[in-house]
Amino acid sequence: MTPQERCNHLIEWFQKNMPVAESELHYTNPFELLVAVILSAQCTDKRVNMVTPKLLADFPTAEAMAATTHEVIFEYVKSVSYPNNKAKHLVAMARQLVDEFGGEVPSEPEELQKLQGVGRKTANVVASVIFNKPAMAVDTHVFRISERLGLTTNSKSPLETEKTLVSLFPPELIPKAHHWLILHGRYVCIARKPKCEECGIRQWCRYYTKI
């Protein structure tokens, strides 16, 4: 079975069984999602969702966050991973938004990556979730299960996986496909002991057919 054939089967299954697939981060606008995604690096969405309500209540806009210091922000985010770096990134990012983008979150991944603390994955998440751009964010879950399923073969990097997945999924489905893969990797195709017997897509999975 070719990667494209596998992908077509997965699309059909997910559209039927997971018609709604969305970020588990809590947000109400582009700035809130950008803050949450920066905080979520190597940290669980559950933990981030515990931190952001108070943080965003006190600093609801780029202008508000730009006017404070990373020492202040640190006190809000100290329970997430790498809090000192993330506090610095958030304040610097907010100041860039104010100085370079009129306080508005840009919609293009290339523009988003100019912001402090925003790498390719974060930029793709914001571009796809908020602006519905055909940008595929590849985190550890997406990277892992793309190999297991057989969508990629011996991928050397997240960027290589991203390019392959973008070539397999129709552009209009890429924002949703990103969440299909993340959620499947988070709850079913987990890293150490995948729940193959519970998996609805195992018949098209390269990993399952070899065990």
pLDDT at 55 over 90: yes
The predicted structure's pLDDT at residue 210? 81
DSSP state of 2: -
pLDDT at 18 over 70: yes
Catalytic member of 86, 88, 139, 176: 139
Tell me whether residue 121 is one of the annotated catalytic residues. yes
What percentage of the chain exceeds 90 in pLDDT? Answer: 96
Confidence grade of residue 35 (pLDDT, cut at 50, 70, 90):
very high
Confidence grade of residue 80 (pLDDT, cut at 50, 70, 90):
very high
What sections of the chain are H helices per DSSP?
3-17, 30-40, 45-58, 62-66, 70-77, 83-101, 109-112, 120-131, 140-149, 158-168, 174-187, 206-210
43 marked as part of a ligand binding site = no
What the chain holds in terms of domains, given with CATH numbers, is 3-21+135-210 (1.10.1670.10), 30-131 (1.10.340.30)
pLDDT at 152 over 90: yes
The predicted structure's pLDDT at residue 188? 95
The count of other CB atoms within 10 Å of the CB of residue 1 is: 11
Residues in the chain: 211
Confidence grade of residue 62 (pLDDT, cut at 50, 70, 90):
very high
Tell me whether residue 58 is one of the annotated catalytic residues. no
Average pLDDT, the chain: 95
Q: Match 């991203």 to its residue by tokens.
A: 162
- What tokens appear for 176 in the block? 């949703």
pLDDT at 211 over 80: no
199 marked as part of a ligand binding site = yes
Compute the distance between CA of residue 133 and CA of residue 25 in angstroms, rounded to an integer: 18
189 marked as part of a ligand binding site = yes
Catalytic member of 86, 121, 133, 176: 121
pLDDT at 36 over 80: yes
The count of other CB atoms within 10 Å of the CB of residue 197 is: 7
The predicted structure's pLDDT at residue 209? 86
Residues 114-139: tens digit of each pLDDT? 999 999 999 999 999 999 999 999 99
